[in-house]
Structure 1
Amino acid sequence: MKKIIAVLVVALSFILTTQAQKGKKNKLERLSVAQQTELALKKMTLKLDLTTSQQNQIKPLLAEKIAKRKTMHEQRKAIRESGKKRVKLSADERFERKNKALDSRIAFKTEMKRILDKQQFERFEKISKKRAQKGKKKMKNRKRKKAHEKK
């Protein structure tokens, strides 16, 4: 009897601690756009061996990109918190959004190509492809996890 009670106490404490940890998720303070830009620039400098002039040219590009991403995140968060259901976009709206996103990616890539030399740009492309594959893999896992939770 004592063993059963001990096992139940251990199991219950394990369950409670895992539930408590779930509540702490995403409670960290978000970095500002300037801080994110600085960190991204330093990572890029280490990976691509950027000169100071290249860093000065890339910094505003990164700041703009990060600011756009942050505003989109805030918009999605506001919609989620307001309790509105996700609105299905029409084909034209979906096309417009994707077209706009691709245009901004093309513009960023052409600016990077202008700023970086040939070797640096090749490394930049390689890193970008790896990041895209990693993102696709994460999204696939997220979709699997959601499908599994629904069952």
Structure 2
Amino acid sequence: MKKIITVLVLALGFTLTTQAQKGKHHNLEQFTVAQQTELAVKKMTLKLDLTTTQQGQIKPLLADKIAKRKVMHQKRKALKEAGKKKGKLSANERFDREMKILDAKIAFKANMKRILNEKQYDRFEKMSDRMMQKKHKKHSKNGKKEKRDKKRRK
């Protein structure tokens, strides 16, 4: 009987702890677009060794990208609150949305290629690839399985 009570108390403790940790992230205030842009430019400067002129050229590109991302996030949030589900878009609407996203990515990449030198652009590409892999791993349902399979291949 004591063992059962001990197990139940531990299970309840772990549950409450994880719930408390999840709540911390949602209460944080979000940065403004200008603050996010500044942080992104500083991080890129550190990773890519950008000059001040390059920083000045990249800053509006990042500000535009971050502002668009924020608008899309607010639209999704409004749809979610209205009760509409994600999968309700028609095939044409999904196609148009994907085309817009891909066109924006192509334009951003072309601008970055124009601004950065060859060595910096290679680093930027590697950085982007790593970020995409991280993003996909985070959202995949079987992330642990993929990690284990990757280790086995080596």
Question: Normalising TM by the smaller chain, what interval?
Answer: 0.7 to 0.9
Measure how far apart 1:3 and its partner are: 7.0
Specify the alignment match of 2:62 in structure 1. 62
In 1, are the aligned partners of 2:137 and 2:143 still within 8 Å (CA)?
no
Q: Number of residue pairs matched?
A: 144
| TM-aligned CA distance change 1:40 to 1:142, over 3 Å | farther
Measure how far apart 1:120 and its partner are: 0.4
| TM-aligned CA distance change 1:76 to 1:3, over 3 Å | same
Q: Aligned equivalents of 1:13 and 1:126: distance in 2?
A: 42
Specify the alignment match of 2:97 in structure 1. 97
Segments of structure 1 that go 5 or more residues without pairing to the other structure are: 145-151
| TM-aligned CA distance change 1:87 to 1:52, over 3 Å | same
Aligned Cα RMSD in Å? 2.3
For 1:9-58, what per-residue CA distance to the aligned partner results, in whole angstroms no more than 9, with x for missing partners?
A: 55544443443444444111001000000000000000000000000000
Specify the alignment match of 1:43 in structure 2. 43
Written as runs of structure 1 = structure 2, the 5 A alignment for 1:1-151 is 8-9=8-9, 11-141=11-141
SS of 1:31's partner is coil
Q: How does the TM-score come out when normalised to structure 2?
A: 0.81
List 4+ stretches of structure 1 deviating above 3 A.
Answer: 1-25, 141-144
State the identity %. Answer: 66
